[in-house]
Structure formats: C-alpha cells, structure tokens
C-alpha cells in the first residue's frame, strides 16, 4: 500500500494529490482515521514534513474537547527527549499502541464468541505480550529483571 501524498504549499494550504483538490487539516485527520497511510511533502523543498503535520493535528485535537494526554503524561514524555532511553521509549510507545490496536480488533472479532471465554483468552494473551515487551524494553535499557524470590 503506497502513501497518500499530500503537498503543503507556502500559503499553508494542503493539496491532496490523489483527489486533486485542497483539503483542510480536519479532512486530513479523517483520512488518517480511515486508515490511510499519508505522507506530507513541502512543495518548495520536497522535504517530508509528515511528522510536523501529524503533531499539528494532535495539537488541534488536544486543544478541543477532552485531551488524550494529561499534563503529567506530557511532562514524562518530555523528560525522555535527549536521554539515553529516548529511542527505546519511542519504540516501546509504538509497540504499545500497535498492541492496543490489535487488541481492539480482536475484541471486535470475538464479540460473536462466548464473551467470557473471549475475554479470558485475550487477557492471557495480553499478559504474555506485555511481559515479553517489558522484558525487551528492560533488556535494551541494560536493566536485568529481578527474580521473583528477591526481596531487595
């Protein structure tokens, strides 16, 4: 699946190259929600500015309605910038969001099954995946897990 190319012009307008029309940030947000993989290119420099535009969409979303990120959460994220764990933390967040998305899809699929069995199976799978991901995170950070019988 190729990226949906959006060009950003100096007049701050966004041009959807597939639909051959200008779009708003709100319309771009809806494309993303629908699952479109987008790439935003600066029309003058040909630089990939996708991250900047995505951050702008998040900022607008956070400004209206109920925010997703608390001030405490944002402060904690800021503390990771420039630190030795920045890359590891970014990968951890990306894997966590991917896992969460997979779980949502699994819940939708399992609604037709016995709800109790489906939830039990999903909880067991989730615990295993989270444990594996945490082990990977701590291992990459050079932290050895403590043994269950350690009291120190």
Instruction: Write down the domain spans for the chain.
Output: 4-63, 71-140
| Rg over CA atoms, the chain | 20
Distance of alpha carbon 93 from alpha carbon 79, whole angstroms: 14
pTM of the model: 0.69
Distance of alpha carbon 65 from alpha carbon 59, whole angstroms: 12
Neighbour count for residue 40 (Cβ, 10 Å):
22
Residues of the chain predicted below pLDDT 50: none
Residue pair 49/41 in contact by the 8 Å Cβ criterion: yes
Residues whose CB falls within 8 Å of the CB of residue 114, separated by 6 or more in sequence, listed in order: none
Residue pair 32/24 in contact by the 8 Å Cβ criterion: no
Closest CA to 61 of 26, 13, 15: 26
pLDDT of residue 148: 57
């Amino acid at each position: 699946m190729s990226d949906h190319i959006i060009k950003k012009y100096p007049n701050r307008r966004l041009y959807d190259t597939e639909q051959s029309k200008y779009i708003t940030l709100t319309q771009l947000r809806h494309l993303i929600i629908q699952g479109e993989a987008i790439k935003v290119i600066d029309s003058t420099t040909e630089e990939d500015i996708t991250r900047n535009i995505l951050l702008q969409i998040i900022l607008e979303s956070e400004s209206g309605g109920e925010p997703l990120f608390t001030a405490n959460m944002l402060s904690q994220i800021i503390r990771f910038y420039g630190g030795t764990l920045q890359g590891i933390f970014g990968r951890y967040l990306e894997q966590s969001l991917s896992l969460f998305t997979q779980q949502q899809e699994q819940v939708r699929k399992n609604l037709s099954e016995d709800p109790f069995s489906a939830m039990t199976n999903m909880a067991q799978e989730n615990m295993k995946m989270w444990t594996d991901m945490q082990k990977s995170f701590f291992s990459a950070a050079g932290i050895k897990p403590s043994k269950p019988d350690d009291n120190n």
